[in-house]
Amino acid sequence: MSSKSNVSLGVIGLSVMGSNLARNAASRGHHVVVYNRTTAVTEKFMADHGADGEFVATKTLNELVEALPAPRVVLVMVKAGNPVDAVLNGLKPLLTPGDVVVDGGNTYYPDTVRRFEDYQAAGLHFMGMGVSGGEEGALHGPSMMPGGSDKVWHLVKAVFEPMAADDKLGGKCVALTGPSASGHFVKMVHNGIEYAIMQIIAELYDILKSTYGLTHADLTAVFHALRDDPALSSFLLDITGDVLEVYEGEAPLIDFIIDQSEQKGTGRWTAETALQLGVAAPSIMAAVAARSQSGDLALRKKGETIRPVAPKQTKKVDLKQLIESTKAAYQTMVILSYIQGFEIILAGKSLGFTVDLPEVARIWRGGCIIQSALLGPITETFKATGDWTGKSLVSLITQSGVTGLRQLVADAAVTGTPALCIMSTLGYMEQMVATRLPQNIVQALRDDFGAHTYRRVDKEGVFHTHWKA
């Protein structure tokens, strides 16, 4: 345990994330006051971890508030939605001006905007803070994305900065992302990117297995090559390697897992927000759709009836060459996923979220689920160019990556291997690099049935045509 820091933190909610964040805080020398609605949970926490730090257990919100020195900092780690409102409403009459309440759960950003305004009207401070890293990250150092005012951030910085992961640059993976609900907005987009990269990994696994016919040992070797490449190393590739190495008897455990993936909603929120803001994010949307469709067993069962009767043909490949082309394609797909996410964050300015993208890229370099070596050159590109739009990151895409991605999609299509997210990512890239898109046809059709007009390439002005001869 670290020496005492003279910093105090109240933690409400002792599920896995809340419990581990409380332990993290105590390990930095913080004085930690804990509360859980179910007293038995608090008692178990103290029995298991009470000797590991300076903890105080409380049985009521009032006890928690009284046990903390003013100005108080209270971290709420309960299930998103009504439980958060219940806690905030219970705390409000107990707090005094200058106290800060931080919601560290996966809250939908419009709820955070509402709560921010509610607390502000009561003369109290409120922050929404995205926390990423899973249970291990919460314990040893997550990436944290707070949103709110500079004044309030300076009140809580000494609490959260020591708890955050290192950013590999000498700093910590926590920074004020912007005003109001910016923190939860950024965390939502983080999760959308997470959906995309996870789906890309899953589909890549399927292509290696079903399209190229690789043995489990060989496809594991491909993922190990990706993981061990310093330019590609990431948390998700690390745990993919772990997953592929676990066996049950003579067979990989992965082969026994039902092919349905669940979701809690943050990916869907990201997709909906992208549509609302008019931002193209097909990789994220396809990843959400892939999870949804995986659960539609009736449709999938019916779809099996139109599959070819003949066995699927695999494409023979040289493993060494496949590894190199897969590396290039994977790098391209991940960069494109980040571009889509950053474009959503930039568009969030219209919602009042002015976010420092280089800082976001920096605090994602450690602790979080989407941490990746690729965020290094992304951060550097943002800073070097001063351009935070997706077009500044196009320079990070290589020709070999483009070729490799096109080949992956072509081979998957020919062999009938589903790759909804990878194909959507390629489509996004092709639209991005095309000299001319077929939207002239769309606009002409709109003008035909709805007199929506169109613009021309050869003259200025807005035009309408009576298309029927």
Q: Hey, what CATH topology would domain 187-433 get?
A: N-(1-d-carboxylethyl)-l-norvaline Dehydrogenase; domain 2 (1.10.1040)
312 is in an annotated binding site: no
Sheet holding 8-12, edge to edge: 54-58, 31-35, 8-12, 73-76, 100-103, 125-132, 143-147
Q: What pLDDT score was predicted for residue 5?
A: 66
Q: What is the mean pLDDT of the chain?
A: 95
- Residue ranges in the chain modelled with pLDDT below 50: 1
134 is in an annotated binding site: yes
Q: What pLDDT score was predicted for residue 409?
A: 98
41 is in an annotated binding site: no
Is the distance from CB of 254 to CB of 268 less than 8 angstroms? no
Q: What pLDDT score was predicted for residue 299?
A: 86
Q: What pLDDT score was predicted for residue 284?
A: 98
Tens digit of each residue's pLDDT (9 = 90 or more) over 214-229: 999 999 999 999 999 9
Is the distance from CB of 207 to CB of 417 less than 8 angstroms? yes
Tens digit of each residue's pLDDT (9 = 90 or more) over 347-359: 999 999 999 999 9
Tens digit of each residue's pLDDT (9 = 90 or more) over 94-141: 999 999 999 999 999 999 999 999 999 999 999 999 999 999 999 999
Q: What pLDDT score was predicted for residue 311?
A: 56
Q: What pLDDT score was predicted for residue 3?
A: 58
452 is in an annotated binding site: yes
d(CA 348, CA 118) in angstroms, rounded, equals 21
φ, ψ of residue 251 to 5 degrees: the values are -115, 150
Helices 216-228 and 319-347: crossing angle in degrees, nearest 10, is 50
**CA 408 to chain CA mean position, Å:** 25
Catalytic residue chosen out of the listed positions 172, 194, 327, 359: 194
d(CA 42, CA 48) in angstroms, rounded, equals 10
Catalytic residue chosen out of the listed positions 187, 327, 343, 359: 187
Q: What pLDDT score was predicted for residue 2?
A: 53
Choosing among 3.40.50.720, 3.40.50.80, 2.60.40.1730, 2.130.10.10, the CATH entry for 8-180 is 3.40.50.720
Residue 194 designated active-site: yes
380 CB neighbour count, 10 Å cutoff: 13
Q: What pLDDT score was predicted for residue 312?
A: 65
pTM: predicted TM-score of the whole model, two decimal places: 0.95
Q: What pLDDT score was predicted for residue 1?
A: 46
- What 3-state DSSP class applies to 320? helix
Q: Hey, what CATH topology would domain 438-469 get?
A: 1.20.5
User: Where exactly are the structural domains of the chain?
Assistant: 8-180, 187-433, 438-469
302 is in an annotated binding site: no
Q: What pLDDT score was predicted for residue 446?
A: 97
Which DSSP string do the residues of 46-69 spell out, in sequence order?
A: HHHHGGGTEEEEESSHHHHHHHSP
